[in-house]
Chains A and B, each alone.
Chain A
Amino acid sequence: MRFLLTREQSDFARSLDAMLTSADTPAVVRAWESGDHGPGREVWRRVAEAGVFALAVPEEHEGVGLLPVELVVAFRELGRHAVPGPYVETVAAAVLLAGSPGLAKEWLPRIAAGRAMVTLAEEGGYALDADAAEAVFVLGARPAVLPPGGALRVSSDAARRLFAVTPAAGAGEALPVPVASVVAARESAMLLTAAQALGVGDALLARTVSYVKQRTQFGTPIGSFQAVKHRLADTLVGLEFARPLVYGAALSRAGADVAAAKVTAGEAAYAAGRTALQLHGAVGYTQELDLSLWLRKTGPLRDAWGRPGDCRGRVLEG
């Protein structure tokens, strides 16, 4: 028993953090929002170079995985830096496609190398960033692959570009994947969304802590007021008790554990967002401040790939 990241895992997080910090991700997000995928694809390439997609692909298909703990480490960093794009969906699609030898051979080496950006959606739902992806994989009673396209629906997080999976999805090409792969893909998406939410929450807390240290009112930093301190303390408690659930679920990969991690990380990040907004005051309510890039994610990430009520139901099923 050693429920602690190894030195290699911590180093991996640090190197991703350094790379993403130098990539100026806020500018990347703003470009992605307007449909300019260029800077986002450049980040995607560097994330692939760092080996992130390979963590989701077995060795026989030119990956190094499946390594869920390392993936969680990576997705927390992607969340901390608000990186736009269908990262969760591409990795979950790799898990889905691994269930079919033919599809695995066709797709996984390209996904591992970062050459294939794909997306994944529930039947009847929205496909994230389908305009940037080369294929849309659809989960449901009859898993299928669709060509990308459709009408853009703007998410409340403008960096999440949504495309309706048309009711005529049945027209897509059916995928020969077993039910177990569909379940595993959903659980991967759920776990990595939780990790991403945790990173978003961590970033919101860190930005708010540094803001309340320098913002003064009544002649003193607002961070010295007990009402402010206590909200931030509660935010940290929420995140620090979500964190072990996310890593624990990566290790056990039990459905109930993954659902518990998803609901808890999602709620903790959402609460971190509410606190961040309140303590930044009116300036936090503006689009110009980079804080907004993280704030707008908290609702969608809480509800994507497992809404809180569904996750809680799943926990009680055991």
Chain B
Amino acid sequence: MDLDFSAEQDAFRAEARAWLAARVPEGPLPSLETEEGFAAHREWEARLAADRWSVVSWPEEYGGRGADIFQWLIFEEEYFAAGAPGRVSQNGINLLAPTLFDHATDEQRARVLPSMATGEVVWAQAWSEPESGSDLASLRSTAVRTPGGWLLSGQKTWSSRAAFADRAFGIFRSDPDADRPHRGLTYLMFDLRAPGVTVRPIGRLDGKPAFAELFLDEVFVPDEDVIGEAGRGWRIAMSTTGNERGLMLRSPGRFLAAAGRLARDWRTYGDPADTAVRDRVADALIGARAYQLFTWANASRFAAGETIGAESSLNKVFWSEYDIALHETALELMGSDGELADGKWAEGYVFALAGPIYAGTNEIQRDIIAERLLGLPKGRR
């Protein structure tokens, strides 16, 4: 057991740090939940991609560096420590790309991945439906066979980034007569500007159109945009949701950087006599360190050839609750400025509030922890 990085890992860190120090934009970009911000973020991602820093864990042929999991964690630490912008492409990179690596054809990978890496095509996820959230198997939107492809109809909702994104991915019911609800589903990619698609942005709590509803009326999708075998969408999607909850969505680097900012703010604005706030700032630092070490332990298991299964639910509950607590502390620390909608912690707080809801609600995660990790009996929901 050790916490020592190798000379190669240190060199990788130094290279990333130097690159970021020279190029991270001064001052924050406009919010990526706005049209202006979307454009600015695309530019930033193109700059990252030009030097192969946008998708470090991908194989080199698709614009990556073939980084292993420790290099990825190192890069993420450096990325957030440098104050670099949030990633507009994250839904594609974190959710769709792993699925493509596992289930797509070579042709699909060659067609889809490079433009994802540069931010030229930004992907939105289209999982949820109005009546189908955590119970994903209950979804109703359909894919009907047509010559050369499929016709998609129905409604998707809570589609992150869809207000400004280019394409989307999701699962559709392709066999309404299948004997079980999670059979007869097909995983497809589609164009958000195709005929028959209506995108209606939904204002988030803070008014920004961070997600959208999609209305689909016989939208044609060619066969080449089916991922994996038709009718096998559920299994394929499950491998994606595992990614979403697990290691790849929330790197510790993000929380280490945020906790560091909070501690600096406490030293600037904090009242040393107010031990209640001081304790919560300390808890933020401790939580970030705990999350980092937990992730290193999982990465070590992963590197040793073990798989990470239901443990990713522990991860999800932890970071989502942690993120809110950290931001609540920051807002309290800011005093009356904490209320300002354009304050330095405000957007992060609104984003954090969604954490326990998306990627499988924390209620579902706790059921998974109790049943699969603690072995408790299944019961009434």
Contact = CB atoms under 8 A, between A and B. Distances in A.
A binds B: yes
Contact of B317 (A4, A237, A248): A237
Contacts of A226: 363, 367, 379-381
B12 interface: no
A45 interface: no
A251 B1 contact: yes
A243 B311 CA distance: 14
A53 interface: no
A264 B290 contact: yes
Contact of B378 (A4, A224, A230): A224
B143 to A, nearest CB: 34
Interface stretch (A180-188, A193-201, A307-315): A307-315
Contacts of B314: 236-237, 240-241
Given A1-B4, A244-B297, A309 B366 contact: no
A237 B318 contact: yes
Contacts of A228: 376
Given A213-B376, A229-B367, A315 B1 contact: no
Interface string A104-130: 000000000000000000000000000
Contacts of B289: 245, 248, 257, 260
Contacts of B70: 1
Interface core residue of A311, A313, A316 (most chain B CB under 10 Å): A316
Nearest to A5: B1
B377 A221 contact: yes
Contacts of B375: 209, 213
B296 A245 contact: no
A245 B366 contact: no
B3 A4 contact: no
A233 B278 contact: no
A248 B293 contact: yes
> Majority SS of interface residues in chain B?
helix
Contacts of B4: 1
Contacts of A313: 275, 278, 282
Interface in B345-381: 363, 365-367, 369-371, 373-381
A232 B297 contact: no
B304 A316 contact: no
Nearest to A229: B370
B291 interface: yes
Contacts of A234: 317, 366
A247 B278 contact: no
A20 interface: no
A277 B369 CA distance: 20
B371 A229 contact: yes
Interface string A240-268: 11111101100110000100100110000
B278 A3 contact: no
Given A3-B293, A3-B297, A223 B5 contact: no
A147 B259 CA distance: 47
B300 A245 contact: no
B340 to A, nearest CB: 26
Given A3-B1, A260-B286, A244 B296 contact: yes
Contacts of B287: 241
Nearest to A251: B3
B334 interface: no
Interface string B294-306: 1011011101100
A244 B278 contact: no
Given A1-B296, A237-B318, A244-B297, A316 B278 contact: yes
Interface of B: 1-6, 9, 70, 263, 266, 275, 278-279, 281-283, 285-287, 289-291, 293-294, 296-297, 299-301, 303-304, 314, 317-318, 363, 365-367, 369-371, 373-381
Given A3-B296, A251-B1, 7 more contacts: A1-B4, A1-B296, A209-B375, A232-B376, A248-B3, A315-B282, A316-B263
29 contacts: A1-B5, A1-B9, A1-B299, A4-B1, A4-B297, A4-B301, A223-B376, A223-B377, A224-B376, A229-B374, A230-B363, A230-B366, A233-B366, A233-B370, A240-B314, A241-B294, A247-B293, A260-B289, A260-B290, A263-B282, A264-B290, A309-B275, A312-B278, A312-B279, A313-B278, A315-B285, A315-B286, A316-B281, A316-B285
Interface of A: 1-6, 9, 69, 205, 209, 212-213, 220-221, 223-226, 228-230, 232-234, 236-237, 240-245, 247-248, 251-252, 257, 260, 263-264, 308-309, 311-313, 315-316
